[in-house]
Amino acid sequence: MAIKKFNPITPGLRQKVSVDFSDLTESKPLKSLTSGKHKSGGRNHVGKMTMRQIGGGHKRRYRVIDFKRDKEGIPGKIASIEYDPNRSAFIALVVYADGDKRYIIAPDKIKVGDNVMSGATATPDNGNALYFSAIPLGADVHAIEMSPGRGAALARSAGTYATMMGREGKYAIIKLPSGEVRRVLLTCKAVMGRASNPDHGLEVLGKAGKTRWLGKRSRVRGVAMNPVDHPMGGGEGRASGGHPRSRTGIMAKGQKTRSVKKASSKLIISKRK
């Protein structure tokens, strides 16, 4: 998947860099695998704004993704590769031998007509979902489960992958995209290969209007506010604002936010860089 630049026939196109969607094969999703999606606008159940910088945006339909890959031992064929507005990676429609159809996170370099399978009988090929007990050492995996049968939780966004480092008792040792090295049960599943759309990080929106299409509103910097509105506000002229922190006073740099009592801390071998 390549990136695409545009002729500057408008100011918005001058800086714009987009992903070339030539690998996508279908423009509309399968209706039976979609559902309505509600926008909150950052408001809670009584209409009070509890989250700022949210609102507007293009209307979307949610694509139901099979994160569990629990259709074991039944071969499936990739019928289409599609765009999903709800995530950065592309999705692929899998048609199984028994006629069932499901969406999965599309692995990188997968093509229409390729076969995928899940379970203990699957081979370690691109797009197949295997248990960590069967994944080769040094392999790249994505869509990783943290609890057996609960569904993929890690390395799901565009171009991300984790590396299988080794095995230790009932655990597999993996290195995550953040740099964290941790243990995951061997009975958890992961999908071979990397997630699709690795060039997503090279995109440049080109104009403020496109961020509004994505449902994001403009953000006012803390240093531009008054002291009553933000801990970094106020001062004569353009003051630096002091220590970087959130509007509620939580330190933005250096302060540890992870709970020391968290049960999964014992599974982390080395923390993210």
DSSP H/E element including 11: helix 11-14
Q: For the residues of 151-190, what is the DSSP string, one character each?
A: -EEES-STT--EEEEEEETTEEEEE-TTS-EEEEETTSEE
C-alpha 232/C-alpha 49 separation (Å) is: 22
102 contacts 172 by C-beta, under 8 angstroms: no
For residue 250, the number of C-alpha atoms closer than 13 Å in the C-beta half-sphere is: 5
Q: Are residues 130 and 33 in the same domain?
A: yes
**Does residue 49 form part of some domain?**
yes
Expressed as residue numbers, the domain containing 107 is 3-201
**Does residue 128 form part of some domain?**
yes
Contacts of 66 (CB under 8 A, 6+ apart): 94, 102, 103, 104
The mean pLDDT value for 103-111 works out to 96
Q: Which SS3 state, helix, strand or coil, does residue 260 take?
A: coil
How many separate domains does the chain show? 2
Q: Are residues 181 and 244 in the same domain?
A: no
- Does the reported pTM lie above 0.85? yes
* Amino acid at position 152, single letter: A
Mean pLDDT (the chain, rounded)? 95
Q: Supply the Cα-derived Rg of the chain in whole angstroms.
A: 22
> What's the CATH code of the domain at 239?
4.10.950.10
Q: Are residues 107 and 157 in the same domain?
A: yes
User: Among 63, 13, 58, which Cα is nearest to 33's?
Assistant: 63
Q: 254: pLDDT confidence band, cut at 50, 70 and 90?
A: confident
Q: Are residues 46 and 137 in the same domain?
A: yes
Does the pLDDT of residue 1 top 80, yes or no? no
Q: Are residues 125 and 234 in the same domain?
A: no
With pLDDT > 70 as the criterion, what percentage of the chain qualifies? 100
The mean pLDDT value for 51-61 works out to 96
Instruction: Encode pLDDT of 126-178 as tens digits.
Output: 999 999 999 999 999 999 999 999 999 999 999 999 999 999 999 999 999 99
> What's the CATH code of the domain at 117?
2.40.50.140
Q: 29: pLDDT confidence band, cut at 50, 70 and 90?
A: very high
Q: Are residues 19 and 143 in the same domain?
A: yes
Give pLDDT, residue 273. Answer: 76
Q: Are residues 99 and 155 in the same domain?
A: yes
Q: Are residues 141 and 52 in the same domain?
A: yes
Q: Are residues 63 and 111 in the same domain?
A: yes
Q: Are residues 81 and 181 in the same domain?
A: yes
Could you identify the residue written with the tokens 């990397």? 194
**Does residue 210 form part of some domain?**
no
Q: Are residues 7 and 117 in the same domain?
A: yes
Instruction: Encode pLDDT of 198-249 as tens digits.
Output: 999 999 999 999 999 999 999 999 999 999 999 999 999 999 988 899 999 9
